Structure formats: structure tokens, C-alpha cells
Amino acid sequence: MQKFDAIRPFYDTEINEAIHSVINHPMMKALMNFTFPGVADEVWKEQLKKTHSIRDFQCNFIYQSVQRILEKGSEGMTTSGFEKLKKNTSYLFVSNHRDILLDTTLLNTALFEHGLVMTASAIGDNLVKKSFLNTLAKLNRNFLVQRGLTPREMLQSSKLLSEYIGSLLLHENRSVWIAQREGRTKDGKDETNPGVLKMVGMGSDEKNLMDYFKKIKIVPVSISYEYDPTDALKMPQLMAEANNEVYVKEKNEDFMTILSGALGQKKRIHIHVGKVLDTEIDAIIAENENSNKQIVALAQVIDDAILRNYQLWPTNFIAFDIVNKTNRFSHLYTENEKSLFERRLEMRIDHDNPIALESFLAMYANPVVNKLKYQDVV
């Protein structure tokens, strides 16, 4: 067994065999029937059987699935910042995280359309316990982040993960996507966990950790959805946290969240990629000698970039005005947009439950609060 076999995606030499192992699975049929409506099963099966690389699988199948998701569940995706990235160059994309599947898939769609290197993407192994989902994840160049470990196992796992990320970026010229923190943001507050950067830094081959962070070319990513199709699904966990209770997920909760994210209505979507952090890291080195302080400062720089470039939508301004009992941003949304949002709130949240109501509104309002720290948003 090779060093990274427990966490890596498939090699291209393994792709065809992996496809054959799932080609008759009912979930593969459902995915392909959704992607290619009106196309006979034998047609897409024949095409799948001829697939021998991750790139072919992503471009000929997953890319088409994403187009269908955007067509059926959104009003389209816009992007900015990609023109600043170089072709045939690997980057470490550190992103805010709203949707289990879509955040990475949409980023890769944008990278593909701009002719840039697509990513290998981190995914929690708790999300791919079903063998079909595990195979699909590995076909789509996902690598596994192991969850639920003891502190000692966690240390070993983090070391392996960091070395794998370093190997992808520096030896395979493969970009990598990681979330700025473990798990999706459920309260609208996007904050980078310095622990994520410490984990990445464990793979450093440089004497000075900040030099390593410069070498791997960190690019902050801001993704925003006008409507979060999983907003109501995030409520039970937020409720438990508000009541200081331990939240235990339902058996198929993650799978249902993935489906809702893909098929639910998102309206408009925007992805912004920032510039490579370079002079910012020089400034951190100049101001801090302590490596822990440097990592905290780097997390703050990533936060600044993500929040400054986060696209706000009418839903965010409406929620902010409702929470603050004001009409400060009423010029940025229509009465129709407000009544649609209020209708969604009515249908998805029990109005007799003040904590649920507060949490739902905060999820949409907090991005405005975040942005106001940096600039006047109008």
C-alpha cells in the first residue's frame, strides 16, 4: 500500500474499472438521467465505458450535471477574479463553505471554463460512507479528510493530509480546494480557523513556515448564493447550539443536504477568487516573529479577502433590515423581493419558535454585518 492510498482519489489507470463497478448502480442511473434527459441509458453507459481519466469524467459528465443544476436550480452563476490566475499553475484555494457539494464543483466549473488547472478537493469521510458516494467522490478528484479520530490519530491524519496537499501542489501541479474551517458555515459568519492553516503547514519543506505559504500560492475564494437551498436544514443544529445541546445528525442527513443543495433553488450565485497572497505574507513576517501569531494573522488576511469580495444579494439586505427593524437598505431590494423572502421565511420556519426565526434571519443578515466592518456596502 502506497503512502496516500487511504485518502487519495483514483489514479487515471483506476478510473475505467471504478466506473464499471458503479455503472449499473441506481444512483448512477438517477444522476445520468438527470444530466442527460431523454437520452437512452445505453448511450451514456457506452460513453462512460470509454472513460479513462478523471478529466474526461469531469468534463464529459460532471460538467454537464452542473449545467443542469444551474439551469434547473438557479438563475445562473457569475464569476470574477479568474483572469488574474495563470494557466498551467497550481493554487491552494481557501474558501468560505456553504454547500457540501456545490462550492467545489462550481469552482471547478469556473476553472474549467477559464482554462485553468482544476482542483483536488477535500471532503470529510463522514460524507461518503456509502460505497457509491465514495467511488463518485474519488472519480471526481476528492481526497478524504478523516473525521471522528482520537487526538493521536488526528495528529497522524493531519500530517498525512498536509503532506498529500503539498505533494499535489508542488509535485503534481494540481490545485487544491480546502474550506476555511471544518464544516459549512451555518450562521453566515465566514471565519478561517487557524487550525486549518496549521494542518496545511505541517507539510512544509521550508525552514520558515510563511515561506512555505508563499510557495504554495494561497488564493482566497468567496462564494455566495442568493438563496441557500439548505437554509431550513441547518436550523436543528443552530437550535441545539443555542440551547447548549450536543447536536447528533440523523442517519441520512448529509445525503439529504447534498441533494437539497444540488436540486433546491439558489437564484443567483457568484464566485470571486482573490489574488495570490504574497506581499500580505511579507507584511505578516515583518510584523510578527512568533509562528503562531503569524498563522493567526494569515487567517485574518484570508478572512479580509473573503469578506471584502463576498457578493451581497437582496436577501441579505432584506434580512438585515428585518433583524434591525430598519429600512436602511430598502433601496437595494424591491417590495416583490421582500415579500418572496418573507414567504420563504413563513413556509420554512415556525414563527412560534423565536430562536429558529432569529437563526434563519441571522444566516442571511450576517454577511451584511461582516461587510460593514470593511466598507459602506452601498
CA gap 351, 371 in Å, rounded: 28
- The DSSP result for 22-64, as a single string, is HTT-HHHHHHHHHHSTT--HHHHHHHHHT--SHHHHIIIIIHH
Q: Supply the DSSP symbol for 330.
A: G
Query: What type of residue is 148?
Result: G
Which pLDDT score is estimated for 374? 87
In this prediction, residue 129 carries a pLDDT of: 85
- 236-247 average pLDDT score: 56
Q: Place 305 in a pLDDT band, splitting at 50, 70 and 90.
A: very high
Q: Would you tell me how many other CB atoms lie within 10 Å of the CB of residue 171?
A: 9
For residue 246, is pLDDT > 80?
Answer: no
**Percent of the chain residues past pLDDT 70, beyond the cut:** 90
Alpha helices in the chain (DSSP H): 12-22, 26-35, 41-49, 54-57, 63-73, 102-113, 131-139, 151-171, 194-201, 209-215, 235-242, 253-263, 279-287, 291-308, 314-323, 335-348, 354-372
- The yes-or-no verdict on residue 365 having pLDDT over 60 is yes
Strand partners, 218: 92
pTM of the model: 0.92
Identify the weakest region by mean pLDDT among 52-56, 97-101, 228-232, 364-368: 228-232
Whole-number Å distance between alpha carbons of 295 and 163: 18
